[in-house]
Amino acid sequence: MDRLISFLPSSSTAKTTQFSLSFKRLLLPISLAALVAAPATRELTVTTLSDAFWAVSCYVALTLAVYHWLALYINKDNVFSKLVHQSRSNQVVFAALMGALPGCGGAIVVTTQFISGKLGFGAVVAVLVSTMGDAAFLLIASEPKTGLAMMAMGVIVGTASGRIINLFHADDFLRPKQVENDEPVRSCSSQSQDKEAVSKKAINLQGYLWSVLIIPGAAVALLGSFQVDVNQLLALPEMSMEWVGAILLISSMFL
């Protein structure tokens, strides 16, 4: 987490470009802010942006944090990593559970472990069968019970598929061969270095914002999934959380 929120030193170009109008990424948040400011489109825009922030962005941030923690944890020498890596059946179950989590992060983690030689081909099949990808966010937000049922079904089918694959294929089936390249990677121009500095600065600002918002944001997202009126629960005026969500979404896009 410290690596996400640490502010790296950047060039003067990065400091000026990221928040200038010439930086094309700013066109979208400026346009959304204009729609919020216009009385004719204000209510619809605020409601839409709020739903996008609380029901989607917060879920994505939470699952990415879980994926990041799991990726770090299974790379360490501990009881859990040994339990997963030393048993083909355990690998399949672990991969199916990773696939059941909303988003594509689980598939990315398992595929990376497969390429590095720590998981077998059956685990890759299990995670790809069990995952619903980003569609899981929408399903959980709109129909939590149905979403959980689909996730459970995905784990069962994914586990069965992975174990069947293990009967016919070795763990290294279709694993790409790693080619070592000792040549140093050099930047082509100073312009590419400036763009990289801008990207790092934006990632650091986003990381700092989400390190603060991830827990309260996840709580609001879960309450909303179960049709709980957060405004009423916290005794807030009507549309308060909608405005907070819209403002936070636009603000995060400015970073």
- Give me 124's structure tokens: 């890759």
Distance CA 176, CA 159 (A): 23
Q: Which has the closest alpha carbon to 165: 194, 136, 126?
A: 126
> Rounded to the nearest 5 degrees, what angle is found at the Cα of 66, between the Cα atoms of 89 and 4?
135
User: Given a cut of 60, is residue 122 above it in pLDDT?
Assistant: yes
Amino acid (1-letter code) at residue 79: V
Taking a C-beta distance cutoff of 8 angstroms, is the pair 40, 223 a contact?
no
Q: How confident is the model at residue 17 (pLDDT cuts 50, 70, 90)?
A: low
- How does the average pLDDT of the chain come out, rounded? 79
How do residues 196-205 score in pLDDT, each as one tens digit? 555 555 567 7
Q: What is the pLDDT of residue 157?
A: 95
Q: What is the pLDDT of residue 25?
A: 73
Mean pLDDT of 43-52: 92
Q: Which residue has the tokens 């990065």?
A: 14
Q: What is the pLDDT of residue 1?
A: 46
Percent share of the chain, pLDDT over 90: 30
Amino acid (1-letter code) at residue 82: K
Mean pLDDT of 22-40: 84
Distance CA 76, CA 81 (A): 7
- Give me 8's structure tokens: 């790296």
Q: How far is CA 180 from the centre of its chain?
A: 30
Mean pLDDT of 173-179: 77
Comparing 182 with 136, the larger pLDDT belongs to: 136
Within 169-189, residue ranges assigned H as helices are none
